[in-house]
Amino acid sequence: MTTCTCAYHDQLIEYRRKLHTFPEEGWSEFTTTAFLIGKLREYGYEVLTGTKVINPDACLGRSQKVVEAGLEAARKNGVSEELLKEMEGYTGCVGILDTGRPGPTLAVRFDIDCVPVQESNDPNHIPAKEGFASTRPGLMHACGHDAHMSTGLAVAHWFADNKDELCGKLKILFQPAEEGVRGAAGMAASGGVDDADYFLGAHIAMMCKSGEISIKPYGFLCTTKLDVSFTGRPAHAGVEPNAGRNAMAAACNAFVQLLGIPRHGGGMTRINVGQLTAGEGRNVIPSHALMKMEVRGETGEINQYMYDSAVQVIKGCALSQGCEYKIEKMGEAVDLTNDPELVDVLREAGKAVEGLNVREDPMNFGGSEDATILARRVQAHGGKAAFFVLGADRPSGHHTACFDIDEKALDTGLKVWTNAISIILKK
């Protein structure tokens, strides 16, 4: 077995940097998906895409305008109409490779979208300095998903090279729209992981530094992302303001009151209104308002408390102004506790990497990750799941203009991944 991952070093760097130059927001990643499909098929994988891997009825936060922009970009980038037809308007893909020998099915997940951040052009910023900064204004791989994808492709390549020494089946999930926790629900609902005996996911950097991994992270906050529309009635603000129904007033009242929801004594809670738009003109009673918000909770029960409380506030504020309201779920994630069996696997996989500090102390992930949706789906069908954090030094925080990663961590991460796969799918 090719246990040395050095052979994939150049590939890791090349693909990470290539993908970094062309970030795509969630549900628009057609160019990215085409690249991933091409590489997986080159390595001999069966590749599924489109509605075979995304259930349209379970998609969250998918804007047709964003989809159309992604398709247009893909065509400009030379993606064939045949391949776009195969995608059926949905991004993401799943590569499947069966060793031909009886054994477990392992699903591994890597996310593929970017964040709406303008990348820094500071000459000290490595991507700018070395010529692989984002070429797309206002979009950037500022959360490490470029590194995730390059690692996923290296894992795929390594598995293809070594499948004769392994057993069972590997499924590699390249998931769209993680930002806003929108993509995993549709991928999970497709049933693609229902046969998985094991599931592994990971994130780079976060609370870990280069030379360490966290195999028992906690604090995966449950979350629900909501778009709230208020609809009132327009009227002349001077002649007959009484005839109007002020949607902006309803939204603003809701905004203030939402921040005042009592926090839950049983665990951590979060609430945020990130965007509020309303109004048609200076002298018109506003008839429409749109509020983009989220709630989070340490557990599903606490998140549901925050959601239910938010709905009551929204309902009351709409009623107070004589307005209608509509709440649309745009994203969701759940909590996760790693299965002990896979914690043991990750411990063994990490300790086999020279110089790597395998951390089992409590390390707070401190955010939401929709890989948890897929992980819990596997657990619900009798499988085992785990998520770990691969450390990487970074010059600034996630989702910032100067985000970058220590690329040496990619080699370390690949070693952990291949070690874990070798343990789970040993011949």
* Residue 367: exposure state from Cβ atoms within 10 A (0-12, 13-18, ≥19): middle
Q: In the prediction, which pLDDT does 90 show?
A: 98
Beta bridge partners of residue 359, listed in sequence order? 214
Q: What angle do CA 129, 207, 421 make, to 5 degrees?
A: 90
pLDDT digits over 310-326, tens only?
999 999 999 999 999 99
Q: In the prediction, which pLDDT does 1 show?
A: 55
Domain with CATH 3.30.70.360 in the chain: 222-332
Q: Which two tokens stand for residue 116?
A: 């709406």
pLDDT digits over 173-227, tens only?
999 999 999 999 999 999 999 999 999 999 999 999 999 999 999 999 999 999 9
In words, the CATH class of domain 6-220+335-424 is alpha beta
- If you count them, how many residues does the chain have? 427
pLDDT digits over 19-69, tens only?
999 999 999 999 999 999 999 999 999 999 999 999 999 999 999 999 999
> What are the phi and psi torsion angles at 81 (to 5°)?
-65, -30
Mean pLDDT of the chain: 96
pLDDT digits over 271-281, tens only?
999 999 999 99
Among residues 118, 137, 143, 113, which one has the least CA distance to residue 26? Answer: 113
Distance CA 327, CA 318 (A): 12
Work out the end-to-end distance of the chain between its first and last CA atoms, rounded to an integer number of angstroms: 11
Q: How far is CA 40 from the centre of its chain?
A: 20
Among residues 242, 287, 297, 307, which one has the least CA distance to residue 264? Answer: 297
Q: Residue 2 pLDDT more than 60?
A: no
Q: Residue 113 pLDDT more than 80?
A: yes
Domain with CATH 3.40.630.10 in the chain: 6-220+335-424
Q: In the prediction, which pLDDT does 286 show?
A: 97
Distance CA 165, CA 425 (A): 9
Torsion over CA of 146, 147, 152 and 157, rounded to 10 degrees? 100
**Owner of token pair 């069972």:** 168
pLDDT digits over 225-240, tens only?
999 999 999 999 999 9
Q: Residue 3 pLDDT more than 60?
A: no
Architecture in CATH for domain 222-332:
2-Layer Sandwich (3.30)
Q: In the prediction, which pLDDT does 315 show?
A: 98
Q: Return the amino acid letter for 72.
A: E
Distance CA 35, CA 150 (A): 11
